[in-house]
């Protein structure tokens, strides 16, 4: 697994590291269901 090191902000969603989506192994991406693509952590 190769995750790029990105500094997480406190407001960033920890599941998708603030990107709003997951990178899939087979290619492409899937919207993060935890933040619904916003990349922000719910308060
Ligand atoms: Zn997320």
Separation of CA 7 and ligand 1 centre (Å) = 15
Q: Tell me which long-range contacts 33-42 makes (C-beta under 8 A, separation of at least 24).
A: 38/13, 39/12, 39/13, 40/11, 40/12, 40/13, 41/10, 41/11, 41/12, 41/13, 41/14
1 within a domain of the structure (yes/no): no
**Domain carrying residue 34:** 10-43
pLDDT one-digit tens code per residue, 2-43: 666 767 788 999 999 999 999 899 999 999 999 999 999 976
19-29 pLDDT per residue, tens: 999 989 999 99
Establish if 37 belongs to a structural domain: yes
| Cα 28 to averaged position of ligand 1 atoms, centre (Å) | 16
Give this prediction's pTM. 0.64
Q: How far is the CA of 3 from the centre of ligand 1 (A)?
A: 15
The verdict on residue 43 lying in a domain is: yes
Note the Cα 6 to chain centre separation in Å.
11
29 assigned to some structural domain: yes
* Neighbour count for residue 17 (Cβ, 10 Å): 19
Is position 30 within any domain?
A: yes
Give the total number of structural domains in the chain. 1
In a domain, 4, yes or no: no
């Amino acid at each position: 697994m190769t995750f790029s090191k990105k500094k997480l902000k406190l407001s960033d969603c920890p599941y998708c590291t603030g990107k709003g989506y997951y990178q899939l192994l087979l290619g492409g991406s899937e919207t993060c269901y935890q933040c619904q693509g916003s990349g922000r952590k719910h308060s």
